[in-house]
């Protein structure tokens, strides 16, 4: 993990690279699934997961077996997470509203849930029951009546038991044993077994991400999730071992993950670097961490906190930790970040699993314009407009004037016909 100055900081961040071979492969998979449906899903599940699937639907018996496997300790932990995450997202509820005026005008906005949502849960390098919670809970609070979950099968043809139990606990309606770009195609267009949905959410590999891009427009999607990122701003009050541990917690996600620390103290930078080297030796995913830190690990030494905030806003990180004195006083200085963690005892894994806010966050600098996943991602807003005859006539000439200037004579005529009758 390199120590650099602000001038040396490499801003060539992990932007998605368009791989023509992946695009071509994903496009062909989508077209195949649209045409051949379940037969294609079986073919690709055999090809990519080395599993012969006869029934994509997870049975009640499989769920009961998974419950026996996971144990009480996990159940207690995941139920605590569900409780906290539910409480946080309840605050995001939106309500319909209406304004009635004395002159016969009524305007408003009606909130309705999306009818059918599909959730993708990865099953490659690790299993993610926490991602099930983060995607299902806001959808349930929004009132989505039909939630389907797709996830790749394990080598024995079953679903990871922790994912399966969590899906059942959170109220998923249907669980399917299928992954990859083929799962996205199935959710978008439907097969004999899998019902099509209106929106697809959840992270995945490059093939899943490209598939979501291809089907967007036919269905809605949440975002295109890139490699995980963390940026820590640390001063002399931050224990080096804590900073190092938090940087490593993101580096272990993926070889392309990005771990950055910004500090105004060169001595602290060296201590953090030493801690990173020491701690990573005892971690199970050391090979992934080494590659991540080699490519994207940097400790940036700056002159002052103003410069630190400027760089952090330029990065617009997925996760930003302020491990500085009186951190809460500086929140307003952060303009672009998916989630902001304050102090030495609010590490990023707290947000990943238990605190309550969603861990599905904008990556690759998209925090400049995007937000964490929330209840608002699972609703639709319809405008409501009612004018009385008298109210319309008061506005008629204004409407007709604008319509004529836009050369839309039928628009003008729509108003004129009513004006003639009155």
pLDDT at 381 (0 to 100): 97
Structure-model confidence comparison of residues 14 and 420, the more confident one:
420
Burial 40-74 (b: 16+ CB within 10 A, else e): bbbebbeeebebebeebebeeebbeebeeebeeee
Q: Look at residue 306 in the predicted model and tell me its pLDDT.
A: 96
DSSP code at position 52 = -
* Angstrom distances, CA of residue 87 to CA of 103, 167, 339: 41, 18, 17
pLDDT band at 312 (very low <50, low <70, confident <90, very high): very high
Q: Give the CATH class of 21-221.
A: alpha beta
Spot the catalytic one: 253, 318, 336, 348: 318
Is 319 known to be catalytic?
A: yes
**Block residue for tokens 């891009």:** 213
pLDDT band at 422 (very low <50, low <70, confident <90, very high): confident
pLDDT at 125: 58
**Catalytic residue flag (residue 318):** yes
Cβ contacts of residue 407 below 8 Å, gap of 6+? Answer: none
- Give me 151's structure tokens: 């996830």
CATH of domain 2-12+226-356: 3.40.50.1980
Residue spans of the domains in the chain: they are 2-12+226-356, 21-221, 388-421
pLDDT in tens, 132-166: 999 999 999 999 999 999 999 999 999 999 999 99
Closest listed residue to residue 323, CA positions, set 344, 307, 302, 306: 344
Sign of CA dihedral 368, 374, 380, 382: negative
pLDDT on residue 19: 79
With a CB cutoff of 8 Å and minimum separation 6, the contacts of 414 are: none
Encode pLDDT of 51-78 as tens digits. 999 899 999 999 999 999 999 999 999 9
Tens of pLDDT along 19-56?
788 999 999 999 999 999 999 999 999 999 999 998 99
* pLDDT value at 291 more than 80: yes
- Give the pLDDT of residue 124: 61
Q: Given pLDDT bands bounded at 50, 70 and 90, which one contains residue 8? A: confident
- Reported as a pLDDT band with limits 50, 70 and 90, residue 254 is confident
pTM: 0.92
Q: Which of 252, 253, 275, 319 is catalytic?
A: 319
């Amino acid at each position: 993990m390199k120590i650099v100055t602000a001038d040396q900081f490499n801003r060539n961040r992990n932007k998605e690279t368009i791989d023509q071979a992946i695009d071509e492969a994903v496009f062909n998979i989508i077209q195949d699934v649209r045409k051949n449906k379940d037969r294609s899903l079986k073919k690709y599940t055999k090809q990519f997961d080395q599993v012969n699937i006869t029934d994509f639907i997870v049975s009640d018996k499989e769920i009961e077996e998974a419950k026996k496997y996971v144990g009480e300790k996990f159940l207690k932990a995941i139920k605590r997470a569900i409780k906290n995450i539910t409480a946080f997202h309840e605050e995001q509820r939106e309500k319909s509203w209406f304004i009635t005026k004395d002159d016969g005008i009524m305007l408003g906005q009606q909130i309705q849930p999306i009818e059918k949502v599909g959730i993708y849960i990865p099953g490659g390098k690790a299993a993610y029951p926490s991602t099930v919670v983060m995607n299902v809970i806001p959808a349930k609070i929004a009132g989505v009546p039909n939630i389907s979950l797709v996830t790749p099968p394990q080598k024995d043809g079953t679903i990871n038991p922790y994912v399966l139990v969590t899906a059942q606990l959170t109220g998923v309606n249907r669980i399917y044993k299928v992954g990859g770009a083929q799962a996205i195609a199935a959710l978008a267009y439907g097969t004999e077994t899998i019902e099509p949905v209106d929106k697809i959410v959840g992270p995945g590999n490059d093939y899943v991400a490209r598939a979501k891009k291809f089907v967007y427009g036919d269905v809605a999607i949440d975002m295109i999730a890139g490699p995980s990122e963390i940026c820590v701003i640390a001063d002399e009050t931050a224990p080096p071992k804590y900073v190092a541990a938090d940087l490593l917690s993101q580096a272990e996600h993926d070889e392309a993950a990005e771990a950055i620390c910004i500090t105004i103290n060169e001595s602290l930078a060296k201590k953090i670097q030493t801690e990173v080297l020491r701690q990573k030796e005892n971690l199970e995913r050391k090979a992934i961490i080494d590659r991540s830190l080699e490519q994207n690990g940097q400790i940036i030494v700056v002159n002052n906190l103003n410069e630190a905030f400027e760089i952090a806003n330029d990065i617009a990180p997925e996760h930003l930790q302020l491990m500085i004195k009186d951190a809460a006083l500086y929140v307003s200085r952060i303009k672009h970040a998916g989630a902001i963690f304050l102090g030495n005892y609010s590490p990023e894994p707290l947000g990943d699993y238990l605190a309550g806010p969603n861990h599905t966050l904008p990556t690759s600098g998209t925090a400049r314009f995007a937000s964490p996943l929330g209840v608002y991602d699972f609703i639709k807003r319809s405008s409501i407009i009612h004018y009385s005859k008298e109210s319309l006539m008061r506005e008629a000439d204004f409407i007709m004037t604008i319509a004529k200037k836009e050369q839309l004579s039928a628009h003008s005529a729509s108003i004129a016909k009513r004006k003639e009758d009155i």
